[in-house]
Structures are given as C-alpha cells and as structure tokens.
Chain A
Amino acid sequence: MSRQATPSYDQLVFELSSPGRIGYSLPACDVPVADARAFLPASALRAEAPALPEVSEFDVVRHYSRLSRLNYGLDTHFYPLGSCTMKYNPKLNEDMARLPGFGRLHPLTPESAAQGALGLMHALAQALAEIAGMDAVSLQPAAGAQGELAGILMIRAYHLANREKRTKVLVPNSAHGTNPASTAIAGYEVVEVKSTANGEVDVEDLARHLDTEVAAFMITVPNTLGMFEPRIVEMTELCHAKGVQVYMDGANLNAILGITRPGDLGFDVCHFNLHKTFTTPHGGGGPGAGPVGVKAHLEPFLPVPVVTRQGERYGLDWRRPKSIGKLQAFWGNFGMLVRAYTYLRTMGADGLRAVSENAVLNANYILKRLEPHYAAAAPGPCMHECVVSARRQKKLGVSAMDIAKRLLDLGFYAPSTYFPLIVEEALMIEPTETESKQTLDAFCDAMIRIAREAEENPSVILEAPVTTPVRRLDQTKAAREPKLRWSRAER
C-alpha cells in the first residue's frame, strides 16, 4: 500500500489569521466627508467589525494555490462524470469573457451603449435555436434546473391560456432529480413512467398515463443510460394527440449536434446546458447557464426581457404581457454566454457535427473494451455515454463506490455512481470528444485492472483511496452532527 510522503495541506484561511495583517490596498478618502457614519442612524450600524480573516496578500495567494492542488480538475485529470460533458474548456473563452466591454459592463447600461453585448446575445440565441430546431430561445435561466423550471412554467402558461387545467407531469423513472424537483416547484404532480429492461421509456406505460390531466412529458434524449430512445417520435406524437407538451432535458445534447434536433423529433421546448455541451467551465459546481428554446406556440411566454433586433439595433423587449416572468434579476449569465458564443464561432457547423460523432465514438470504444469485465446496463451501441453495472463485482463484495475510490488512486476522477437509479451499482461514463485514444485506453486499463483486483485482491479496492489528500470520509458523522462553519474552538 503506497502512502503520500508529505502530509497534505490542511489549513483554513481563518487559521492563518494574524491580527493587524492586511491583504488589501485601498485609496485614502479623497472627499471631504470625515465620517459617513454621522449620516446613518446608530441602530443601523454594526458595533464590531465582522470576524473575517486578517492575512496578507501573499498568505492568500499561497493558501488558495495550495488548496487548489487538493482538487482533481478536468485540466489535470480525465473526468468522466455521466451527463456532465466534462470536455476541454478553451482558454480563449476566458480571455474573451474578460474583454472590458463584456466583463466590465454594468447590466443597466443604456441599451444604445451595450450594442456589442446585446448583439452577441442575439446571435447566440439564434445559433442555439438553429442547433435545436426551435423557433425562439431565452438566454436568461442560470442553469439547467432553471431552464427546466422556465420550460415547465411556459407549458403551464400555455395550457392556462387555452383555459385548460392540467395537473400532472410525466417523468421517466430514469430521470435526473432536477426534473421532478423543477416540476414540483411549478405546482404539478409528478407521475413516474416506467422504463423497460433496456432502460428505454416503456411506451405502453406512457400511453396508459396520457390523458387530459397531463400537462407535459419530460424526457432526456439520449436518455440517462446513453441510449437514443428509438421510439421517440412515436412518443411525441402520442403526447400531442392528447394535447400534452413535450419537454427535452438537453443535458445530453453532446450526442446529437448536427445529427438530429429536438425540434425535429417533436419536442415543444428544450433547455441547453452551456456548461456541458458548450464548454463553459464547471467552476467546482457552477456558474453554468441554462438557456431554453421553444416552438412558436410557446414564444409569447418566454422570460422577460427578450433580446430583439430591429434593423441594426439590438434591444431588450419588456412588452411581453404573457411572459412567465423572470428567473433571475438581470438578463442571463452573460459571462457564460460570451464563452459559449466563442466556442460556437470556433467550431462552426462541421465542427459541432464532429464533436458529436467523436463523443459517440469514444463512449462506444469504452463500452466495448469494458464489456468482458462489467455488465452493460443496456445492449449497445450507446451514444455519447455508457452505463455499466458493477453487479458482478458487488457479489465479490466490491461496490460501484469502491471502484470509484480505487480509480482516484489510479489517477482518474471517477464516473458518476448510483445514477440512473434504475441500474444496480451504476457507473455512468461520459468521456466526451476531447479525450484522446491514449487517455481512453488508460482509463479502460484501469477499470479492467480493478475488475481483476476485485477477484484476486479486493482489499486494495476496499481500502482506497490511499493517495488522495484525505481518505474515505465519515458522511454519517457529517450528517448527524452538522458542522457547517468554522469555529476557533473546534479546530
């Protein structure tokens, strides 16, 4: 068993604090106001300065640099999280987002003085509409979950405008958790539709549930097992026959760019995850951006304001009486929109098609190489991601979680585990198109090695990880005795 030679860094910034140290450089007050507090009621003032750290700038730089090295990131490690599309984040995106005319632009700048930003947003919305086969796009939602909420609320508004009171939304039992959660916030009852043994939607079960109480059917295509859903057109037609709107969760769009489009498959609305398909960085958990695209009949309900163009002038249109309202205060995660636009202009149509083809190729390569060693969740071919089950290994006492921990020791971030819920001991692997064959082979070699270790020497898996900054963590203790902030006494 190998162990780290040097103990890993274990400080929090509060523990570096030394009274009187400063890390800032602020100008002296250049206006003749001695003390602004004189203008403020005493009851509104803080009696004591907040207990923030007192550290030097160099303390800060060294501390966060050392903390960063406790992370595996995509820049340093293969990061095959399923349905997260961890593809290379181009550095050009970062430079462009930081152009002063974008990064230093206040949202309430008069529109005539923000034509560059508005023009970029307009162009991006049009490009996304083309990619998805939709008629209109709102760039406002801040993440996929907000895109879902916007989409379901627009469907709700549509039915209400038609004087129809529908109370349910159908969601496959393989769906990502945000689907039922967003639906519940929109005020609907969530009804689960069964999946077949292959992980596809059970179309007969769907048909049984379709009636005039149902507002929408929400589905991810390809689905969360990485399979296309061969009867999707039939499903959208069945839904429309009962006046049910169909929503596509666009998390897996990376599989179908330039190959097919949600709009052409019969979807009424879809969202995009710019931090997945369109390379905006994942940031340790965000920010993302979740634009939503709609067919013409839902366009009146789009969030407000809508970016419009009249001749050569771009503007924000607030005259949208049927709008569902707002998801966030301003116009969208503009910084991420710049990055996505930069990516689209780097790739062009042919480039995007190649993205999906290579994403599909890479996932199938992994599936094939792992086939002798891990049970596939569904018969191949898959699309841009594959799901394998560790049920064979579980019989030997090695779970999907154990395999994930061992992968960390072998230098890989683990795939998603225990999702989708309908697959036992699931490992959901999405390599993306930006990984080379060498990397895919190294990952497969590691997974095959672990399969062998499960048979010959499982303790090395069960002890893992041993090379990471910390070893397995006590989740129970964290939940039973939540310690959610630092305190001096507990250090």
Chain B
Amino acid sequence: MLDVIGAGSIDDLLVGVPAKARLAQPLALAPALAESDLVRHLRELAAQDADADSYACFLGGGSYDHYVPSPINHLISRGEFFTAYTPYQPEASQGTLRTIFEYQTMMAELAGMDVANASIYDGGSSLAEGALMAHAVTSRPEIVLAGGVHPLHRRVVATYCAGPGLRLRDVASPDGVLDLDAAGKLVGGKTAAFVVQSPNFYGCLEDVRAAAEIAHAAGALLVVSADPVNLGVLEAPGRLGADIYVGEGQGLGVPMSYGGPNLGVFAAKQDLVRRMPGRLVGATVDVDGERGFVLTLQTREQHIRRAKATSNICTNVALCALMATIYLSLLGKQGLVKVGELSAAKAHYAAERLTAIPGVSLRFRVPFFKEFVLALPKPPERVAARLVKDRILAGVPLKSFDRRLKDCLLVAVTEQRTREEIDRLATALAKAVGA
C-alpha cells in the first residue's frame, strides 16, 4: 500500500505533525489484556456493585427498575440497527427512519402532544432544551420552576441557561406540591416558561391544570416534565395544558446502567414545531410513489443553521429510542396501563406497610403514584447502609438534595417488586430504626 501511495514509511505520511509535538514514548496506559483476562477483570469490577439483579431495588429519583422484556436486547443488537449512524442517506436507512417515526408517534400519543422529536440525551437536558425553546419563542428572560422539579434536572437547566443569561426562579413546595399562590406571584410578564413535574421528584402528583392557567394567564409557556411509563394510567400532559412536554424515558426498556445512556423525551404543540430542537423524521414518497421516510425540517439543526440552530444537538440516543419503541410495541395499549397499575398498587401497599412501623411516616400528605417520601427516626444514610447488608436498596436519602428533608428517604416501587420483597423491606427497616 505504501508503494501505491509513494511513501517509504508511515512516518512519511505523518510529516504534517510538528516534530517537537511528537510523542517520544508510548502512552502510559494500562497494558492490553487478552479477551479472557479482560473479561475476568471486568467481572471482578462489576461484582463489587450492588445491582438490581441481586438486590431488591427501591431506588427511584429519575431512574427506575421497570422490567425490560427479553426481545428488546436481541432486536436492538441486530447489527443493522446498532452499527448504523445518522440516516443521512435515507434510501439505505429506512430501518432506522421508520423506527424513529414509530417512536415519534408513540411519544406524541403518550404525551397528548402533536409532535415528538427523535430524542434528546436525557430528561435533564430535554428539560433544559425546553427552557431554551420557551425563551426563543417568547423572548422572555425568566424560567420559573416548581419546587418539585428534579433537583438534578434543575441543575442542567441552570447550566444551559447561563450562556443566554436567563434567570431561574423557584416556587416553594413545602407540603410536597406546588404552592399555587406563590406560583401566581412569581409567574408574570418576564416568564418564558413555567416548569412543573408530575409526579414530582418526591413522587407527589401536581395540579398541572392549575399550573397551566397560571402560565397562560401570564403569556408564558407551560413545560411539563413527566415519566412516560406512568402515562398509561396518568393523564397526558398535553390534555392538562402543556405547551412543551419533556421527560426521562429510561423506564421504557432502557437499562439503568448507572445513570446513562438515558432517553430524553421531547414533544410540543404543532405551532411550535419549527422551534423544536432535535431530529425529526417525516413521511414522504419516492420517485416511484412508494412510501418512504426522511429527516426533515433540517434547517432548524446545527449542520445547516449553525450558530442560529434551535439546538447544538447532533448525535442523540437513537438506540435508546428504539428500545422504547420496541418496549411500547410489546407492552402495547393494555400492557403499559398494567405496568402503571401494578407499580402504583405496590407502592401504596409498601407505603402502608412501612408507615405502620413506629416512628416512620409519610412526609407529605398528598396523593402519590409509584414513589413516596418517608420520614425516619434515624439518619436515612445509616439506615440505607444497613439495609444494603440485607441485600436491599431501600431508597434515596434526601439530605444531599434538600437539607430540610435530612430525615427523609425517597422510596420507589415498580411492578418488579414482589410482595415478598416489600415485606422484607418492612421487616428490615423496622429493625434498622429500632422499632
């Protein structure tokens, strides 16, 4: 090959690299391992982790142990799906484009919105994109967030809003849900978006319709963040007044995988479609009149619009969106409803059993869905650490999220948790709090 090129050695091809910047030594990296040794090394690492196969997982807070049906992994591992890239040549990418079109359809349907995009990275960045979009549409400088919005999502919003200099304002939620009077005072003529999450970070259901009225009365957009897994049972945000819907779609068949990759869901009303971030797939026809699908409205995106693009997003999480599409196809109309019903039923059973323990109570006295906050008589971090020894991941201690909740534990219950596991949690928790 060098002969064809006309070079004496590969070094001749590297002549453009300045000599003084050339590495004289090999990189100081850990040595290469043969495959079987590498497998052993990684298995040893993985074995140190308390995963949900070996531990009863009651952790929530934006990532959930919902069951992942077996066909998903097999189908997404087909090389034609997982080794393809962005469908720039649509004639050779109809597999990817059709699955994205199906995904857009399903997400718009769940959300009660007109249009969904092909995905953003995760729920936090999706919310941040929603905030920026509201600012672009209204030209207003403030984002008002309900206190129940996931604190880590809020941090992402703050990071994205720093450049444009948008101001974030928070409405207190001392009783676990939005204080509507306080919201009415903060949402006004400077508000681009009023952001509400339901169920919120504490698992509590918010009055989204009331929030919509407050937002729209002030000429602001309502951005609703909601876990799509719950939307078989819970009302679609679009029918509650949302202008923009965002959510963390990880529960729809995406592995928890220590927090990533996840699935940022994003949907909006029809009149906002040209301001939407992210890829959009549309239906069309080919020269023979056959149905086909293409990336469309691309002039919004960075590769054409550059500095004036609706977002900088290029690569998204297409394979995770495919997992969700297959999940929703398998679960279908009836199955998604059942997942929600089972999760909520088990969560309410768990709350009843756990609050029967002396000293343990529900921190907020408002309706919840599949997650709730317990107030404990002993420091939750220590309680949780003790229960790890019983092979139980009891819940998320809330002190690091909100000091006022330093005695609290956030407990999530999905359809995966058996009665036996819940009873075992109750027994272990009772012991740990000294009841």
Contacts and interface: CB of A to CB of B under 8 A. Distances in A.
B99 A177 contact: no
A86 B85 contact: yes
Interface stretch (B181-189, B213-221, B275-283, B427-435): B275-283
B333 A52 contact: yes
Nearest to B381: A110
A97 interface: yes
Contacts of A67: 94-95, 98-99
A283 B332 contact: no
Interface string A51-62: 111110100110
Interface stretch (A27-35, A203-211, A240-248, A292-300): A27-35
Interface string B3-18: 0111100101111111
Interface in A192-235: 222, 227-230, 232-233
Contact of B21 (A39, A185, A260): A260
A472 B83 contact: no
Given A145-B302, A470-B292, A485-B116, A381 B12 contact: yes
Most buried by A among B26, B42, B65, B158: B42
A368 interface: yes
B79 A474 contact: no
Contact of A469 (B2, B91, B162, B368): B91
B336 A50 contact: yes
A362 B10 CA distance: 11
A350 B26 contact: yes
Nearest to A229: B16
A344 interface: yes
Contacts of B233: 36-37, 40, 45-46
Interface string B27-59: 111111101001101111111111111100101
Contacts of B75: 60-61, 64-65, 68
A120 interface: yes
Given A44-B234, A468-B92, A326 B152 contact: yes
Interface residues of B, number: 204
Contact of B302 (A177, A283, A288): A177
B315 interface: yes
A452 interface: no
Contacts of A368: 4-6
A64 B125 contact: no
Given A24-B330, A360-B10, A408-B92, A281 B83 contact: yes
Given A53-B329, A55-B329, A64 B99 contact: yes
A51 B332 CA distance: 8
B266 interface: no
A69 B94 CA distance: 9
Interface in A471-487: 471-475, 477-479, 482-486
Interface string B104-118: 111011100011101
A336 B261 contact: yes
Contacts of B61: 108
A90 to B, nearest CB: 9
B80 A342 contact: no
Contacts of B311: 181, 185
A112 interface: yes
A416 B303 CA distance: 12
A5 B50 CA distance: 53
A327 B328 CA distance: 28
B93 to A, nearest CB: 6
Contacts of A265: 18, 21
A129 B261 CA distance: 22
Interface in A94-129: 94-110, 112-117, 119-120, 123, 127
Contacts of A39: 344, 348, 367-368
A92 B301 CA distance: 34
A442 interface: no
A75 B18 contact: no
Contacts of A61: 71, 74-75
Interface residues of A, number: 199
B297 interface: yes
Contacts of A65: 75, 78
B101 to A, nearest CB: 7
Contacts, number: 699
A52 B331 contact: yes
A416 B46 CA distance: 39
Contacts of A182: 312
B257 to A, nearest CB: 4
B121 A41 contact: no
Nearest to A10: B291
Central interface residue in B109, B158, B163, B260, by most chain A CB within 10 Å:
B260
B314 A283 contact: no
A473 B21 CA distance: 48
Contacts of B385: 110, 112
Contact of B41 (A115, A257, A345): A345
Contact of B124 (A12, A52, A326, A414): A326
Sort A-B residue pairs by CB-CB distance and give the 10 closest, nearest first: A330-B259, A101-B46, A75-B79, A348-B32, A107-B259, A283-B319, A187-B163, A228-B16, A36-B344, A325-B159
Nearest to A221: B17
Given A106-B63, A114-B49, A475 B348 contact: no
Contact of B304 (A37, A177, A335): A177
A39 B337 CA distance: 16
B205 A44 contact: yes
B256 A104 contact: yes
Given A55-B332, A468-B92, A335 B257 contact: yes
B285 A474 contact: yes
Contacts of A258: 23, 26-27
A158 interface: no
Interface string B306-348: 1111011111111110100110111111111111011011111
Interface in A75-102: 75-77, 79, 81, 84, 86, 89, 92, 94-102
29 contacts: A21-B332, A36-B345, A43-B207, A52-B109, A71-B80, A92-B38, A96-B39, A103-B255, A108-B61, A109-B50, A176-B303, A190-B306, A227-B16, A283-B82, A284-B99, A284-B319, A286-B119, A286-B318, A287-B316, A324-B159, A328-B262, A329-B122, A329-B152, A348-B31, A361-B2, A383-B16, A473-B284, A486-B101, A486-B105
Nearest to B299: A479
B283 A50 contact: no
A177 B326 contact: no
Interface string B199-220: 0000001010100000000000
B315 A288 contact: yes
A144 interface: yes
A62 B280 CA distance: 25
A459 interface: no
A282 interface: yes
Contact of B48 (A116, A408, A414): A116
A190 B307 contact: yes
Contacts of B259: 107, 329-332, 334
A186 interface: yes
A49 interface: yes
Contact of A328 (B10, B85, B124, B209): B124
A177 B49 contact: no
A54 B331 CA distance: 8
A101 B71 contact: no
Contact of B256 (A107, A228, A349): A107
A142 B91 contact: no
Contacts of B283: 478, 483-484, 486, 490
A57 B330 contact: yes
B236 interface: yes
B297 A479 contact: yes
A116 B45 contact: yes
B302 A45 contact: no
> Most A CB atoms within 10 A — which of B44, B92, B198, B330?
B92
Interface in B395-430: 396, 400, 415, 418-419, 422
B90 to A, nearest CB: 5
